[in-house]
Amino acid sequence: MRILLLGEYSNFHNTLKAGLEKNGHSVLLMGRKDGFKNYAVDIDLEPVLFSKFLFRKVKNVLFLLFNFDIANFEVFYNFYKNRHQFKDFEIVQLINEFPFKTTPFWDKKILKFVFKHNKKVILSACGDDVTYLTYLINSDLPHHVLTPFLNNKKLKPYFRHSLNYLKPSSKKLSEFVKTYITYIIPADFDYEMAYQNLPKVKPLIPFPINLEKNKFKPLKINGTIKVFHGINRSNYYKKGNDVFVQALEQVQEKYSHNIEIIQVENIPYKDYIKLYNESHILLDQAYAYDQGYNALEAMAQGKVVFSGFSDGFKSHYDITKNIGIHATPDVEELVKNLSWLIENPKEIIKIGKNARAYIETYHDYEKVAKTYLNTWNS
């Protein structure tokens, strides 16, 4: 089949593309590069002109005067000059209902063309969207990614991107997309919770992980345990980076001779991977109920990850072994769990092996690609 994947987050569509190609299909990936992460795409819609110094100044002035980001027009222009390559696919998958990250106005113009000129369009439920964020606000979950903002409205600037999805214009775009797509496929348990029992929703399909690129590396502990914490400043509170930083400060003071903390901010994906390769423990996020993509890649390599390993997640996959540490926004609990691992290094090796086995069972990119194909064709 000819398949078009639109948009990219955290290497998800790149890996799905590789799995689909392994299964003999022709795949094109179009979209933006997910900001500073700079993921590869076949056709790049990223605004280049208005990222240059002088044009960026013009862009900023226009935004201040008219609340208009001209870089969004450049994204649309990049689509328009390549529009003939957006046509006649048997399957199109949107990574999100807002796949081009412009404004609802410009995204809708592109999506109208996509819906008109292709056979079947599928929506992946991942990243922020109207359904997910509305579910969180109305849920009785003990915590979630909006909890820091709901507890402290002064953090609103850090949540502006997420809160934009709750505006009327975003809700209209969401309704438009859901009218024309064929299916919705949740990409992890967090979205499965939000989308269950809604129209057009298919069962969760786990994120695909490339087991060849993320080879298992048996952990060796020679006195020093390395803890990696990657910070995306724009998601600082949403991911729980603040509580991780507090926990690491206490652990560093307590075990200064036993650990090495590697903490980085806003670096491209390739550099991020190089830096965490030698670590034993990776801190991912503290408000989730399933793991993020970077966490899954680390688990594939046999690292111990602090992320979402909720009871609901474990029940969904029938998990009985310890495959990671369920992280919550509780500094004391994080310090307790980190201390336990530092004092029991054999557990790090054991959990790492369990994590790899879990990834091989549920996230192998070739198997996941086949599941997508079966679902798309159902």
Shared domain for 250 and 307, answered yes or no, is yes
Residues 322 and 244 in one domain: yes
Whether pTM exceeds 0.75: yes
Q: Tens digit of pLDDT per residue, the chain (378 long)?
A: 999 999 998 899 999 999 999 999 999 999 987 766 788 999 999 887 656 655 566 666 555 555 657 778 889 999 999 999 999 999 999 999 999 999 999 999 999 999 999 999 999 999 999 999 999 999 999 999 999 999 999 999 999 999 999 999 999 999 999 999 999 999 999 999 999 999 999 999 999 999 999 999 888 888 899 999 999 888 999 999 999 999 999 999 999 999 999 999 878 777 888 888 889 999 999 999 999 999 999 999 999 999 999 999 999 999 999 999 999 999 999 999 999 999 999 999 999 999 999 999 999 999 999 999 999 998
Around 280, how many Cα atoms within 13 Å sit in the side-chain half-sphere?
24
Answer whether residue 74 is part of any domain.
no
| Residue 267 confidence (pLDDT) | 80
Domain that holds residue 244: 225-362
Q: Provide the pLDDT for residue 278.
A: 84
- Residues 134 and 123 grouped into a single domain: yes
Same domain membership, residue 371 and residue 344: no
| Residue the block writes with tokens 């724009």 | 234
Same-domain status, 355 and 372: no
Residue 329 CA, distance from chain mean position:
19
Per-residue pLDDT, 33:
78
In a domain, 242, yes or no: yes
Distance in angstroms (rounded) separating the CA atoms of residues 120 and 116? 10
Nearby residues of 244 by Cβ (< 8 Å), 6 or more positions away: 229, 283, 286, 306, 327, 334
CA–CA separation, 330 and 339 (whole Å): 14
Helix (H) or strand (E) holding 20: helix 12-22
Q: What is the pLDDT of residue 25?
A: 97
In a domain, 71, yes or no: no
Q: What is the CATH number of the domain that holds 143?
A: 3.40.50
pLDDT of residue 47: 81
Question: Could you tell me if residue 77 is inside a domain?
Answer: no
Do residues 182 and 239 both lie within one domain? Answer: no
Residues 183 and 99 both lie in one domain: yes
Q: How far apart are CA 4 and CA 149, in angstroms?
A: 36
Q: Do 257 and 193 belong together in one domain? A: no
Residue 271 lies in a domain: yes
Q: What is the pLDDT of residue 262?
A: 93
pLDDT score, position 66: 53
Question: Distance (Å, rounded) from C-alpha 307 to C-alpha 217?
Answer: 20
